[in-house]
Amino acid sequence: MTVATPNTPAHEPLDHFQANAYSPYHFFTSEEWSRFRADTPLTLTADEVSRLRSMGDPIDLDEVRRIYLSLSRLLSSHVESSQILFEQRNRFLSLSDVGKTPFVIGIAGSVAVGKSTTARILKELLRRWPSSPKVDLITTDGFLYPNAELQRRRLMQRKGFPESYDTAALLRFLSAIKAGQRNVAAPCYSHLVYDVLPGEYKTIDRPDILIFEGINVLQSRNLPVDGKIVPMVSDFFDFSIYIDAEESLIHNWYVHRFMNLRQTAFRDPNSYFHRYASISEEEALAVAEGLWKNINLKNLRNNILPTRPRADLILQKGRNHLIERVALRKL
């Protein structure tokens, strides 16, 4: 169990919540969860999984079969139920000219915990359902303020914190998606240059399913005292997933990834972090530890971890980066 500092929540494992008789979740071991896949076919190959996973993430076909086929089957039932409810409500309201509304899946969790891998694996599994739905994936990185604006606001050391995002743009984007609008533009981000790409956008044109991935997508906000409507990003989600792990494990994964990037992406002269490729290993390790302690750990404790109880599904990883426990919100 991780011991919290006085002003931060303890990063309790899921066992802590399971012991609570009033928990809103059902809890499963990975073996128990794997049985729910039933006859869901495995439509990915080993090579495809290898291409989809992020650096340092050991996910393989066994993990897809063990965890993600059951999740795919669960999401299929949620999408189908959502479509039925949508049609029933249109009949109730006597609406005949309303287009389809995309089913939006939010994926949250700390840096280095494996959100991107989960999002890409799910996208491929969902788009290969027999109905061949159109599935798009967007990350919140493009909705960060550009570095120049973050510097103007003195927020570069809080990049990734809730205040570093253009929340109004995020809400406009999701509102347009949920309204079924055509050709909705999402800004693009480059991890190489560590900045939003000016004038570059990805167009989302009425998908059946949209996966929306980011560290703070389940973030709440202070409620207005006057009762005015102030939407949150998660208000637009039909289903939400939180990727979880012990704080010490995420710390190790983050530092390990940073050190590996020194031998790969950081060597590109165009990389924002190119300066770290040539320093000594000891110096680089100190930099990685500093970034974790002063930025990412604070964001995890103060902003990301507190959103975990808001998720519909929690996937908890163990030391080997593979899912060990699953918590599914009760209906």
One-letter amino acid of 273: F
The two tokens of residue 122 are 């799910």
Domain chopping of the chain, boundaries? 14-329
| Proportion of the chain above pLDDT 70, given as a percent | 94
Would you state the pLDDT for residue 11? 65
Would you state the pLDDT for residue 22? 82
Phi/psi of residue 43, nearest 5 degrees: -105, 5
Task: Answer whether 157's CB lies under 8 Å from 294's CB.
Answer: yes
Using alpha carbons only, what angle is made at residue 253 by residues 234 and 312, rounded to the nearest 5 degrees? 25
What is the pTM for the complete model shown? 0.92
Instruction: Return the closest-CA partner of residue 82 out of 184, 174, 210.
Output: 210
- Give the rounded distance of the alpha carbon of 283 from its chain centre: 31
Residues 6+ apart with CB under 8 A from 101: 86, 178, 179, 180
The yes-or-no verdict on residue 9 having pLDDT over 70 is no
CATH number for the region 14-329 comes to 3.40.50.300
Would you state the pLDDT for residue 6? 38
Per-residue pLDDT band for 57 (boundaries 50, 70, 90) equals: confident
Tell me what the mean pLDDT of segment 140-160 comes to.
97
Per-residue pLDDT band for 54 (boundaries 50, 70, 90) equals: confident
Tell me what the mean pLDDT of segment 291-309 comes to.
97
Q: pLDDT tens-digit profile of 95-137?
A: 877 777 899 999 999 999 999 999 999 999 999 999 999 999 9
What does R_g of the chain's alpha carbons equal in angstroms? 20
The residues with which 196 forms a beta bridge, in sequence order, are 189
Would you state the pLDDT for residue 10? 53
Tell me what the mean pLDDT of segment 20-26 comes to.
85
Would you state the pLDDT for residue 7? 43
Would you state the pLDDT for residue 221? 79
Q: What's the mean per-residue pLDDT of the chain?
A: 92
Q: Answer with the residue of higher pLDDT: 54 or 27.
A: 27
The yes-or-no verdict on residue 142 having pLDDT over 80 is yes
Q: pLDDT tens-digit profile of 301-323?
A: 999 999 999 999 999 999 999 99
Q: Is 137 helix (H, G, I), strand (E, B) or coil?
A: strand
Q: pLDDT tens-digit profile of 68-96?
A: 999 999 999 999 999 999 889 888 999 87
Q: pLDDT tens-digit profile of 161-203?
A: 999 999 999 999 999 999 999 999 999 999 999 999 999 999 9
Q: Return the sign of the alpha-carbon dihedral for residues 160, 164, 167, 169.
A: negative
The CA-to-CA distance between both ends of the chain, in Å, stands at 29
Distance CA 130, CA 177 (A): 24
Instruction: Return the closest-CA partner of residue 11 out of 251, 233, 219.
Output: 251
Would you state the pLDDT for residue 4? 40
Distance CA 242, CA 144 (A): 20
Q: Is 119 helix (H, G, I), strand (E, B) or coil?
A: helix
Q: Answer with the residue of higher pLDDT: 54 or 318.
A: 318
